[in-house]
Structure 1
Amino acid sequence: MIPKKNPKADLVRNSGLFFALGLALVLFLSWKGLEWKKYDKTSFIAQGSEADDIPDEINVPVIDLNTPPPPPPPSPDVIPPDFEPEDNDTEKEESRIFPTEDLFDEPIDVDDIPETETVSDEPVSINLVESVPVFPGCEDAEDKLKCFQESMIRHVQKNFSYPEWARERGVEGKVYVTFIIDKDGNITGVNMRGPDKSLEKEAARIIDKLPKMTPGKQGNRAVRVPFSLPITFRLK
C-alpha cells in the first residue's frame, strides 16, 4: 500500500511566498529605523532675558513741564506807554539830489579812443609770415624766401666738416636741426636730433656760425620765425 501525502499538510508549498513577505517586512522596518528622528523636548527662551522678567504692562511716567501759556497778542488800538509823538514842526535836512550832468564829464567820442594792438610772442611760420627773415646778401632779391633757403645750403656746405670719430667708425645719418630767428635777428632755441652725438655736435657748430639776420615781420612788427634744416652726413 502506497501512502498518500495530503497536499494541505505540505509546509514547503508556500515557503517562497512567506520568505518574500518576511524579507519585505524586514526591509521596511530597517528603512523606518534609519529614517527615525528624535527631538528633545526643551523650551526656548530668548538670550539675554528671562521670561518671568517681562512685565505685563509698562508704565511711562508723565512729566509736567509747567510751561506757562503764551501772552495774547496786543490789540492794534492800544498805544504803548513809552510812545512819544514826533514833532512835525522840526526841520529836517533833506538829502541833496545831484543832477546827472554833474556826475559825468564831457561826452567822449568813440573815434577818439586809441586802438591798442594785441602783441603776441608766438612764433610765426616762415611760410605764413608777411616778411620773411632776410639772410645777409638777400636784401635786394625778388624772392627773399628762396634766397634765404639757398643761402642756408651754401652756409652748410661751406662750413661742413665730417667728424673724424664718426668717419673712422662709418657712422652716417641725417641730423634734423630746428632753431628760431628772434625779433632781433639772432639764432635762438637750437634743437637737433640725429643718429650720433658726434654728428649732432658738428651740426650745432655749423648753426652757431650763422650770421645775424634781418628779423621777419608781421605788418610793422618784428616776430619770431622758426626754421628747420636737415643736414645729411654721408661717406663717399
Structure 2
Amino acid sequence: MEVKKNPNIAVSRNSSLYFAIGLNVMLLITWLSLEYKTFDKPDVLLENLTLIEEFEEDIPITDLNMPPPPPPPPVLSAPETITIVEDAKEIEETVIESSETSQDEKIEERIVEVSDVDVEDIDEEVSVPFSVVEEVPVFPGCDGNSNDELKACFSKKINDHIIKNFRYPQAALELGIYGKVFVLFTIDKDGNVANIKSRGPDKMLEKEAERIIGLLPQMKPGYQRGRPVSVPYSIPINFQIQN
C-alpha cells in the first residue's frame, strides 16, 4: 500500500517562514532587554517639620490723663530793714588810691640793637658729566695739554687699575657665573671716589667690581667755570671664564 502525503500539512513547506518569525521575535526580545533600564528608588525620609508661628502682640495705647502739676508756692518777700544812723556818729570813709601812673612819669624806651648778620655762602653740589666737563679729573700720573689727552689717559689708567686688581670670585668661578657688570661712580669735588653703584648678572660679580673701583686713588677733581665739581663716570667690567 502506498503512503500519500497531504500537501496542506507539510511541515517543511513553511519552515523558512517560521524561522524568520522566530528570528524577529528573538531580536525584539534582545532589543527590549538592552533598552530596559532600572533606576534605584531613593529612600525618602519624612521628617517632622515643626512650624513656629510668630504672634505679634498688640500693645494697647492708653491715654493717661495726668493731673496738672500744682502751682508753685508764692514767694514771700523779706521786709527791708532800715538802719537809722545818728548824725553825731562819725563814719570813716575808705579812700581807694588809683594804681595808674600819672602822665608826668617818663617811659623809658629801650632800643634793641641788631648785630651784623653773617651771610655764609653754601656751595651747591654741582655734578657735570665726564663727557662735557671743561676740565676732566686727572688720574695720578697723567699729563696732557688738552682735555682729550687727559680723557684718554684717564681711561687707560682705569683699565690698567682694573686688570691689576681683578680677582675672579671663587664661588662664581665654580658655579660658572660670568657676564658684564656696569659700574657707576663719582669723583667728587675733592677728588675722592664716591657713590659706587653696580648692576650685573650676579651679586658676587657686582661686589667684586665695586671692590676694584673702591681701590682707585685720589685724583685731581674736575673743574667747571673755574670751580671744582663732581664728575660721574661709568665703566663696564667683563667677567669671562676661559676654558
Per the normalisation by structure 1, the TM-score is 0.48
